[in-house]
Chains A and B, each alone.
Chain A
Amino acid sequence: MTRNLVTDAVNTWCPGCGNFAIQHAVKGVLSDLEAAGTSLDDVVLVSGIGCHAKIADYTNINSFYAIHGRAIPVATGIKLANPDLTVICCAGDGDAYAEGLDHLIFAAKRNIDITLVVHDNRVYGLTTGQYTPTSPAGFHGKSTPQGSNEDPINPLELMLAANASYVARGYTKKMALLQELIAGGVAHRGFAFIDVLQICATFFNQTAQYNRLVYELADHDPTSFASACAKAREWDYNSDAPIALGLLYKQKRQVFDQQFPAPILVQADRDQAIQEVLEQRR
């Protein structure tokens, strides 16, 4: 029986919000997983805090609605606890690039087998419009009314530097590609990073700019680190340069979750192991 993936929670995203597109893509990936024989009971969705995170309430699947910036370590713990689970982690750009930047870098460094979808709308929506790490310089937000005087970070470049094994960029107005990138991330063994350029209909609607500048990668070799870096640097989240969409980089690396001992399940075995330790201390 195919699961109805939408809960009866009342949806409060703004009309035109990019989150609808991302949720639609995630649902598409889940349906395909189910059709291919994966039990959706074995899938967990982890979210941070912000407009994006409501996806946990709206999607009828195991979920851990975490706290701001901390979706990645939660997802990491879940995957380590039970490597049989498929763990999809949704985070905002505030979550992933500000409050929880350390976790992002370490997830890439240790190559934990989770899929991270960053809902990168480049503005804090739920707190009603402040600049984020990927907002363009000069951004007029409520905390920077004179315009922010910081340049944005380039998350793709950052992830390449952190040795991420799957680096992609999607766009909420390119639905087919977005779903393909998330599905590819789920299928990838290791840490999959997908930065999604998302429209914020209320506070930062970049539709016109994105529609003008984005293009889908073709004839790009995702196994070439040099090509990936060149494509990542083409647009610095500030300029008016062409914006590449698609899979920039993919490599095979040792996965972090396959190296740990199995828990002891029987009390007698546990007691025996402890007794052995105690005997050594006599």
Chain B
Amino acid sequence: MPLSYSCVTSQEYPHIDQCLKYQKERGMAVNEVSVLIGGKAGDGISNAGGIIAQLLNHLGYYVYLYIDYPSLIRGGHTFAVIRGADRQVSVHQDRVDFLVALDQRTVDLHRPVSPSCTLIVNEDLVKPVQEGTGISLRAILTAEQAPAIMGNSAMIGAFAKAAGIPWETVQEVFHAHMPKAPDENLRVARRAYDEVGTVRPIAPLARPARPLLTGNEAISLGLAKAGMSAYVSYPMTPSSGILHFLAEQARRLGITVIHPENEIAVMLMALGFSYAGRRVAVGTSGGGFCLMTEGLSLAGMAELPIVLVVSQRTGPSTGLPTYTGQADLRFVLHAGHGEFPRFVVAPADASQAYYWSAVAMNLAWKYQVPAFILADKTLSEGQYSLEPEHLPDVGVEEPLLWNGTEPYARYRVQEEGISPLAYPGDKGAIVKVNSYAHDESGTTTEDGQQVKRMADKRMNKWVALSFAVMDYPEVYVSGKTDAPVALLCWGSVRGVCEEVAMVLGLRVVQPVVLRPFPAELITGLCDGVTRMITVEENGDGQLAALAREHGFEVYGDILKYDGRPFTPGELLVKVEEVMAR
């Protein structure tokens, strides 16, 4: 029975104990701390989680935040797990050290998993507990004449004190990161801070705070880095964060942000931008991407560069809008009628999202193809520590441009299938793009020879692109890189695979680029592997099948498709089961 926080069925969690035992034996999880804050939608759990993440960040920890919330505006159960560690982490732990509960349900759901955690509860709504710290939000809010939404600040204040976080740090974080009324919130937090004692101090690590970004924000900034000046999108969870972030930062980043009538218009408007020479991206999730596929095929035929961010959630159809999944790999690899080259990259964390989004934009323009950033809810809405100074620098790489002298033909056949670009408005160029089969000038043709010649031209870009991606770190390897057992994974699942690999001494292989598929590089990096185990969050084993298609032998595949990401304890047991076969 797969375990997840929201479907706890047993009082015993031997796999978690086992995982933690292993972690301790290997010196892992020493300098680390996990905090869970939970309540109802409308309690401000998301903001409070973000503030706690910044508190740990300001103590010098690398941070990862997982947010779990239902598709509603009021009620239900929402929680965030914030993990701080002395190394980059991109998955939350099964068990937490602090449980901050705004309501009884939070205690009921999460306490059994973490029996020895430090409890900090809103005693107005939580039944008295034997140990732990209780504060009365009602009393504090009344005393400060503060609105109910500031209750989460009181909980943060109580947590900060219980964790021995200096008041100055709390002040600093509230002033920098509380979206509204930081001083009023600080007064509420201070009252709680003064009411409780320090129970379980978190040792500060003497490191400066790092930028914390969601995957969506990292994608946005990576695209901006490579010159994106237009973003077109219709809201759809979990991609909407990009739309909101870019709309908010539009002036600073010089980006035209448009929210049109539907995803069909999104895609076609974006192609208008592209034709006119503007670097553009669209963002959506599976359902919206369905509507974009006719435009995608047009981009393929008309050779219009475009970046598509597809952030997966649990499908099919409306599915679980606010939960994760990796079931759209095949869809994105093959979407659109007809044949045309494309680039598909699936980042695992914010660092990869930032870097590869910039690369995707440059490759889209260089090869005049659609480039995909395939994300998922875990990546899109999770928060990560970003160290851009540790990433390769990427800026705008100019595509092949028309030299302004020879007569212009939009689809001139030359080396690698790449035709020089000109844009409407360029003097002396008549720029004709066409969804029909066309000749070099862009004029419709039904002549068989011409049709084949231009199809060959487009297919030549596949070849060129396949060579070009070899210049990039298209496969990421970590863990014990000479181990005979390899976990083959993609996207955000890499984070949990690394945790398990560290515990069990395994190799982790994550193809970041999924099309053109880096089969040769994977073969090289899997040298000495006797058992390859795929790990992915879908029910079909889509990566496993892709690997088999490319000649790899997959020993076992571990799948999860309940909308919740794998946790280390859960995956560890599954991997051991497969290895014991």
B242 at interface, CB cutoff 8 A? no
Q: Which of B264-272, B364-372, B512-520 contacts A (4 or more CB under 8 A)?
A: B264-272
Cross-chain contact A273 with B252 (CB below 8 angstroms): yes
B435 at interface, CB cutoff 8 A? yes
Q: Which of A21-29, A142-150, A210-218, A263-271 contacts B (4 or more CB under 8 A)?
A: A263-271
B433 touches which of A64, A76, A260, A281 (Cβ 8 Å): A64
Cross-chain contact B276 with A81 (CB below 8 angstroms): yes
Cross-chain contact A44 with B424 (CB below 8 angstroms): yes
What is the bound-complex CA distance between A84 and B426, given in angstroms? 12
Cross-chain contact B176 with A282 (CB below 8 angstroms): yes
Q: Contacts A67-B298, A261-B255, A279-B211; is A82 near B435 (CB within 8 Å)? A: no
- CB B281 to nearest CB in A, in angstroms, measures 13
Cross-chain contact A65 with B444 (CB below 8 angstroms): yes
Q: Contacts A85-B424, A281-B211; is A61 near B430 (CB within 8 Å)? A: yes
B57 at interface, CB cutoff 8 A? yes
A62 at interface, CB cutoff 8 A? yes
What is the bound-complex CA distance between A105 and B265, given in angstroms? 12
Mask of A1-31 contacts with B, CB within 8 angstroms, 1/0: 0000001010000000000000000000000
Q: Contacts A57-B443, A102-B262; is A76 near B426 (CB within 8 Å)? A: no
What is the bound-complex CA distance between A106 and B268, given in angstroms? 14
Cross-chain contact A81 with B277 (CB below 8 angstroms): yes
Cross-chain contact B429 with A260 (CB below 8 angstroms): no
Residues of A within 8 A of B341 (CB): none
What is the bound-complex CA distance between A94 and B135, given in angstroms? 65
Within 8 A of A (CB), among B241-294: 249-256, 258, 260-262, 264-265, 268-278, 280, 294
Cross-chain contact B272 with A75 (CB below 8 angstroms): yes
A78 touches which of B212, B275, B436 (Cβ 8 Å): B275
- CB B242 to nearest CB in A, in angstroms, measures 13
* Residue from the set A65, A267, A271 with the largest chain B CB neighbour count within 10 Å: A65
Q: Contacts A41-B426, A261-B254, A281-B211; is A63 near B225 (CB within 8 Å)? A: no
Closest to B227 in A: A270
A81 touches which of B212, B273, B294 (Cβ 8 Å): B273
- CB B42 to nearest CB in A, in angstroms, measures 25
Residues of A within 8 A of B294 (CB): 67, 70
Cross-chain contact A77 with B272 (CB below 8 angstroms): yes
Q: Contacts A73-B269, A80-B273; is A62 near B427 (CB within 8 Å)? A: no
- CB A112 to nearest CB in B, in angstroms, measures 10
What is the bound-complex CA distance between A74 and B304, given in angstroms? 12
B395 at interface, CB cutoff 8 A? yes
- CB B345 to nearest CB in A, in angstroms, measures 20
Residues of B within 8 A of A74 (CB): 268-269, 271-272, 275
Q: Interface residues of A toward B: which range?
A: 35 or more
B407 at interface, CB cutoff 8 A? no
B221 at interface, CB cutoff 8 A? yes
Q: Interface residues of B toward A: which range?
A: 35 or more
B396 at interface, CB cutoff 8 A? yes
Residues of B within 8 A of A70 (CB): 264, 268, 294-295, 298
Cross-chain contact A277 with B249 (CB below 8 angstroms): yes
What is the bound-complex CA distance between A46 and B211, given in angstroms? 44
Residues of B within 8 A of A277 (CB): 221, 249, 252-253
Cross-chain contact B224 with A274 (CB below 8 angstroms): yes
Residues of B within 8 A of A280 (CB): 176
B253 touches which of A73, A273, A282 (Cβ 8 Å): A273
Cross-chain contact B254 with A77 (CB below 8 angstroms): no
- CB A70 to nearest CB in B, in angstroms, measures 4
A39 at interface, CB cutoff 8 A? yes
Cross-chain contact B275 with A64 (CB below 8 angstroms): yes
Cross-chain contact A65 with B395 (CB below 8 angstroms): no
Mask of B427-458 contacts with A, CB within 8 angstroms, 1/0: 11111111110100011100000000000000
B105 at interface, CB cutoff 8 A? no
A52 at interface, CB cutoff 8 A? no
Within 8 A of A (CB), among B186-223: 208-213, 217, 221
Cross-chain contact B262 with A66 (CB below 8 angstroms): no
- CB A216 to nearest CB in B, in angstroms, measures 34
A208 at interface, CB cutoff 8 A? no
Cross-chain contact A264 with B253 (CB below 8 angstroms): yes
A73 touches which of B250, B272, B280 (Cβ 8 Å): B272
What is the bound-complex CA distance between A274 and B225, given in angstroms? 7
Residues of B within 8 A of A251 (CB): none
A82 touches which of B276, B386, B436 (Cβ 8 Å): B276
- CB B358 to nearest CB in A, in angstroms, measures 10
- CB B368 to nearest CB in A, in angstroms, measures 15
* Residue from the set A44, A262, A279 with the largest chain B CB neighbour count within 10 Å: A44
Mask of B366-389 contacts with A, CB within 8 angstroms, 1/0: 000000000000000000001010
A60 at interface, CB cutoff 8 A? yes
B460 at interface, CB cutoff 8 A? no
Closest to B251 in A: A261
Cross-chain contact A281 with B396 (CB below 8 angstroms): no
B435 touches which of A7, A66, A274 (Cβ 8 Å): A66
A234 at interface, CB cutoff 8 A? no
A119 at interface, CB cutoff 8 A? no
Mask of B384-406 contacts with A, CB within 8 angstroms, 1/0: 00101000000110000000000
Cross-chain contact B221 with A278 (CB below 8 angstroms): yes
Residues of B within 8 A of A278 (CB): 211, 213, 221, 386, 388
Cross-chain contact A73 with B265 (CB below 8 angstroms): yes
B524 at interface, CB cutoff 8 A? no
Residues of B within 8 A of A61 (CB): 430
B230 at interface, CB cutoff 8 A? yes
What is the bound-complex CA distance between A60 and B429, given in angstroms? 11
Q: Contacts A78-B276, A80-B258; is A102 near B250 (CB within 8 Å)? A: no
With A77-B276, A80-B256 already in contact, 14 other A-B pairs whose C-beta atoms are closer than 8 Å: A56-B432, A60-B430, A65-B436, A73-B260, A81-B230, A81-B278, A81-B280, A82-B278, A102-B262, A103-B265, A262-B254, A270-B253, A270-B254, A282-B212
Q: What are 16 sample pairs from A and B whose C-beta atoms fall under 8 A apart?
A: A56-B434, A57-B443, A65-B434, A67-B294, A67-B295, A74-B272, A77-B273, A77-B274, A77-B275, A82-B277, A85-B276, A103-B264, A106-B261, A264-B253, A280-B176, A282-B57
B→A interface (CB under 8 Å):
57, 176, 208-213, 217, 221, 224-225, 227, 229-230, 232, 249-256, 258, 260-262, 264-265, 268-278, 280, 294-295, 298, 302, 386, 388, 395-396, 423-436, 438, 442-444
